[in-house]
Amino acid sequence: MLEEKNQGSTSLSSIGEFGLINHLTNKFKINHKSTVVGIGDDAAVINNSGELLVTTDMLIEGVHFDLSYVPLKHLGYKSVMVNLSDVYAMNGNAKAITVSIAASNRFPLEALEELYNGIKTACDLYNIDLIGGDTTSSTSGLIISITAIGNVAKHKKVLRSTAKANNLILVTGDLGGAFLGLKVLEREKEVFKVNPNNQPDLDQYSYIIERQLKPEARKDIIELLAKLEVQPTSMIDISDGLSSEILHLINQSNLGCRIYEDKIPLDPTVINACEEFNLDSTTIALNGGEDYELLFTIKQEDYSKIKGNPNLTVIGHMSDPKDGSYLVTRANELVEIKAKGWRFFNDQE
Ligand code: ADP
Ligand code: MG
């Protein structure tokens, strides 16, 4: 990390578009019976059962990632995760992706190989078929657009708009780590600019840096909920931060809510890093984003099924829309939940 990159020097123009596509994709195997035709024809062919889920995310260099501290392999992995996360947030099975890339001639073949190594690791671990994409040049920088395709049985799909008053609100894992990981990486980038020989000791930050660079989509939770026979009443993945995601559920389900500050799950390393950066940990958990955890609601009668599970935390409940949407602080005060600009956030942005 933070070193001058020496990635090799095979120029993209020397290998040609078809050579490039073949070179990048020939190690990928098709695993799903539902993939009838993968890479190589004008369109992929999928034999689908249930309802089809389709979701796309685009990542642009300089906007969504900074290659001075994001290794290309991690970028490939994360680009897949952010898409799979959206399929799981519908309670679906992710099955296939297409990957479209635009790269400037600044990128040698070896750089794109690294990117595809990360994409392949993600496909192998999450059992995803790479079934197509597009490859083109860009005048500057790198653009990655991934589409994920999945399916879900009609009666299993979970929307944002179907929560009910008094449903319990749950979150998976812990929050705020990815944002703080980014803070650490940005700080080290500045230090590196001043003194390139200073190799930082980042061991104490490994958890939060990993949360930023290598998030995991919560396929395990979808499997867990199926095993526990819990059908969420609404669900969303946490890409922008807890407060904006909870507002999506509330607005689309036409409800209000109470979230309890003391229930929000925080890892000890998140609390330590907040102290170091002089940030309020609740603010970071609410607004940090990029944690790719799942936020969902369940019926109260399902509580006994999820009780005590270390992956799941009840953080509040839905209520009547006229009750509004509030965070109940540790001091028992009510603070209205807003998408951004909440509490101390204004002067930190
Ligand atoms: P077309 O000209 O018909 O759009 P392309 O020559 O762009 O076809 O692509 C040939 C095949 O390679 C198609 O199956 C396409 O989906 C696949 N493909 C192209 N670029 C990529 C990529 N970056 N990653 C994965 N598959 C790709
Ligand atoms: Mg094409």
Pocket mutation for ligand 1, best pick of 27, 39, 137 (most atoms within 8 Å of C-beta) = 39
Mean pLDDT over each residue of the chain, to the nearest integer: 93
Question: Which range among 89-103, 132-146, 177-191, 196-210 shows the weakest confidence by mean pLDDT?
Answer: 196-210
Question: Which range among 43-47, 61-65, 103-107, 339-343 shows the weakest confidence by mean pLDDT?
Answer: 339-343
Q: Which residue has the higher pLDDT, 342 or 135?
A: 135
Q: Which ligand is nearest to the CA of 130?
A: 1
Q: Which ligand is nearest to the CA of 102?
A: 1
Helix axes 177-194, 268-277, angle to 10 degrees: 50
Token representation of residue 188: 């080290």
- Nearest residue (by CA) to ligand 1, atom 20, is 134
The predicted structure's pLDDT at residue 195: 86
- Judge contact between 107 and 142, C-beta under 8 A: yes
42 lines ligand 1 (CB under 6 A): yes
C-alpha 110 – ligand 2 centre gap (Å): 22
- Nearest residue (by CA) to ligand 1, atom 24, is 133
Q: Is the pLDDT of residue 341 over 50?
A: no
CA distance 62 to 304: 46
Beta bridge partners, 90, equal none
> Residue 348 — very low, low, confident or very high, per pLDDT cuts 50/70/90?
very low
- Judge contact between 90 and 79, C-beta under 8 A: no
38 lines ligand 1 (CB under 6 A): no
- Give the DSSP letter string of 242-256: HHHHHHHHHHHHT-E
Token representation of residue 248: 């999506």
> In the predicted model, what is the mean pLDDT of residues 309-336?
97
CA distance 118 to 9: 20
CA distance 112 to 136: 12
Ligand 1, closest atom to CA 17? 6
The predicted structure's pLDDT at residue 345: 43
- Nearest residue (by CA) to ligand 1, atom 17, is 132
Per-residue pLDDT tens digits for 16-66 = 888 999 999 999 999 999 999 999 999 999 999 889 999 999 999 999 999
The predicted structure's pLDDT at residue 135: 95
CA distance 56 to 79: 10
Closest to 94 (Cα-Cα) out of 133, 125, 71: 125
- Judge contact between 177 and 291, C-beta under 8 A: yes
> Residue 113 — very low, low, confident or very high, per pLDDT cuts 50/70/90?
very high
Which pTM was predicted? 0.94
> In the predicted model, what is the mean pLDDT of residues 134-143?
95
- Nearest residue (by CA) to ligand 1, atom 1, is 42
C-alpha 21 – ligand 1 centre gap (Å): 7
